[in-house]
Amino acid sequence: MVTNELLQTRIKKLKSEFEKVFGNQKEIHIFNAPGRVNIIGEHTDYNGGYVLPIAINLSLLAAAQKRKDTKLYLKSMNFSRKFATFLENLKYQEKRDWANYPLSAAWALKEEGIELSGANIVFDGNIPVASGLSSSAAIEVLTMKCLLELSGKNIEKEKIPILCRKGENDFIGVKSGIMDQYIITFGKENNALFLNCETLEHKLIPFHNMGDKIIIIGNTKIGRGLVKSAYNQRLAECNEGLRLLKGYIKRENIKNLSNINKQEFEKHKNKLPEVIRKRCAHVIYENERVKKAVNSLEKGDLDKLGQLMIQSHNSLKELYEVSCKELDTMVESFLKFDDVYGARMTGAGFGGCAIALVEQKSQTEIIKGVSKEYKDKTGIHGEFYICRISDGVKKL
């Protein structure tokens, strides 16, 4: 397969780079971690709701070698700077830039009391950076997998995403959800992952009737500079909505906004300030859409899944207000084609990527048409990737 040939080419280049940096290729191990897109369920994760992500064939590779000391030596073929530090001296430093993400994984393992060996690691990725396809979570999970393997340590698989999030939250200081780390750990070829972000219950959902269908990822090439401030603002708005709704809904065990069902919200929504009402409406209705999307996949009803994707985008645009002109333009361009089932923004918003579920036979025509219209309307050359649903992190 072309994809396997591409992977082998990447591995060959990675090994060559490893030898250039460290002088040998003795006892090196190769690991792979995918990026991800979320089919539906946006901004529900940190509200304790449902998500439906997939692992994709854009990935990060690592060549890793055990050291005799406790030094961690990190090099990426995607960045010019390399870093080295001892496992006894893991501290966040802003100047370390990309290296803070793999260091956060090592830190989380150390905090768990796991004794680690030092390692030489060279990374190579074809996940576009800052595109919303989760390159940061991929390098966290990938590093954790490398260090556990080289150190001869085993932990429960469920602990990997939990510890990776701990590293991102407490070492780096980014209060992220757990969806990205979970799908990168548990992803399976041709399956989506239905995850409850409150309880962490999860199950794989096969993509039925996908034989002649594909997912196209459209990268707007817009950086997501507003994401951090907007994320914090939306989180505060959702928490305020939860506080107010708990005062009206006399029911125990409401821990998160997603614990409130559509009927309860409809009864009390007009008591909320307009902005708070809109944020809560998106989360609660989006949570319902995820459950309907799972049902659609299980039945092989891709027409219904496409409709839910469109509804999700409109909600993110109008209620949660995290879309942007470029994302809207790309989604609208996709939806002009008859062989597109549905399209939506994916990720935090304000840039990044959109996805579309399409007939494979029309992929060239669709990409060509969307690319032209997007360039004509925004002046930006978008990038497009054919997405294959892949396995989670693994040793190759």
Could you report the per-residue pLDDT of 264-321, keeping only the tens digit for each?
999 999 999 999 999 999 999 999 999 999 999 999 999 999 999 999 999 999 999 9
Tell me the per-residue pLDDT of 190-204, one tens digit each, with 9 for 90 and over.
999 999 999 999 999
pLDDT band for position 130 (50/70/90)? Answer: confident
Residue 282, token pair as written in the block: 């998106």
**219 vs 329: CA distance, rounded Å:** 12
Structural domains of the chain ordered from first start: 2-206 (3.30.230.10)
Inform me whether the pLDDT recorded for 1 exceeds 70.
no
- The first and second tokens of residue 165, run together, are 């999030």
Residue 310: Cβ-neighbour burial (10 angstroms; 0-12, 13-18, 19+): middle
pLDDT value, residue 2: 45
pLDDT confidence band for 228 (50 / 70 / 90): low
Burial-class residue 152 by CB neighbours within 10 Å (0-12, 13-18, 19+).
Answer: exposed
Instruction: Please write the tens of the pLDDT for every residue from 346-362.
Output: 988 889 999 999 999 99
For 295, residues 6+ apart whose C-beta sits below 8 A from its C-beta are none
Give pLDDT tens digits for 210-225. 789 999 999 999 876 5
Name every residue whose Cβ is closer than 8 Å to that of residue 174 and which is 6 or more positions away in sequence: 168
Q: Is 275 helix (H, G, I), strand (E, B) or coil?
A: helix
Catalytic residue, from 69, 97, 170, 180: name it: 180
180 flagged as catalytic = yes
